[in-house]
Structure 1
Amino acid sequence: MMMNNQSLIDEIQRVSEEVVELFQKKQRGYTHYELNNQQCVLLSLLIINNSLSPIELADEMKISKSAVSQLLLKLENEGFVIRKKYKNDKRSVTVELDEKGKIYKEEMKEFEKEILKKYYDGFTVTELDNMLELIKKSRDILL
């Protein structure tokens, strides 16, 4: 049975969400830390950017500054992040990974290597080539 355009789009969206959900579930199971989704997102942003202000974190996460403050307080108390004052402006702070955060970063690097190898080993070279072309086309459409 041939699906119509909207049905295909809906199915792609559903399966994509399922893949993301499976990836996140495996990711949470990989680390020995008990972190919720928002904590993982915040730490991931710091892994990618090295340091961000609480305002930048709130903007990136699309949550309130007070919600970020609560997240930071818990993560700071547990040794995942540290707040540092800017040298030029003592009222402003930047947030960086602390010791546990750096360990978490290394665990996530290992997880990514392991899961991506498993993921991509499930495809032939031709399938990977086709996937790359489709991803590039998706990117170009959004530009």
Structure 2
Amino acid sequence: MLQQLVQLVKEINQIEYETNLLLTEEFSSLLDDKITDKQAVFLNFLHQKGALQTYELSKLMGTSASAISQLVNRLEKDGYIKRTVNLKDRREVLIELDERGHSYFHKQEEIELAIIDKYYSKLEMDDLIHLKDIFSKFKKIVVQEQNK
């Protein structure tokens, strides 16, 4: 039974990996390949949560303030983020998306909509709901196990 489970999960992971690889290859011309995975995660926190202070980003990323400082310097230099003074407390410096950062997420949205239109739209709505339910159940299991 365990061997079957291991084999099935490996097959699922391989299918997911190959599918993501195919999609990445197809849409690579629209992707910003100057962004590293760590930078993408950093930008995503700003996109999701809005302007944040360096220490907040450090906690979210699970890394040191000096590592965040290096990320901030690089992304600011490249025009993805900007530093602004908090008008409520002038001692605080907030990090937020700049024009290129907003453009990055606009491209991500375009790619996601293109994938939905070209591929997901070919699946039955019931299949998509089932897929979402399965991923939701799996996420719930992961969260529960990590909180033990």
Work out whether the TM-score is over 0.5. yes
2:50 aligns with 50
Per mean C-alpha deviation after superposition, the further-off stretch among 122-131 and 7-16 is 7-16
Per mean C-alpha deviation after superposition, the further-off stretch among 96-105 and 124-133 is 124-133
Equivalent-residue separation in structure 2 for 1:60 and 1:17 (angstroms) = 26
The unaligned stretches of length 5 or more in structure 2 are: none
Contact 1:28–1:35, Cα closer than 8 Å, also in 2: no
Quick one: which amino acid aligns to residue 62 of structure 1?
A: G
Output the TM-score relative to the length of structure 1: 0.75
Output the TM-score relative to the length of structure 2: 0.73
Cα deviation, residue 140, structure 1:
4.4
Per mean C-alpha deviation after superposition, the further-off stretch among 15-24 and 103-112 is 15-24
2:75 aligns with 75
The unaligned stretches of length 5 or more in structure 1 are: none
Quick one: which amino acid aligns to residue 112 of structure 2?
A: E
Per mean C-alpha deviation after superposition, the further-off stretch among 42-51 and 25-34 is 25-34
Cα deviation, residue 9, structure 1:
3.2
Number of residues paired by the alignment? 142
What are the Cα deviations for residues 51-108 of structure 1, in whole angstroms up to 9, with x where unaligned?
Answer: 2222222222233221111111111122211112223433322111112222222222
Could you say if the C-alpha distance between residues 44 and 27 of structure 1 is closer, same or farther in structure 2, counting changes exceeding 3 Å?
A: farther
Secondary structure in 2 matching 1:94 = strand
Q: Percent identity?
A: 29
1:39 aligns with 39
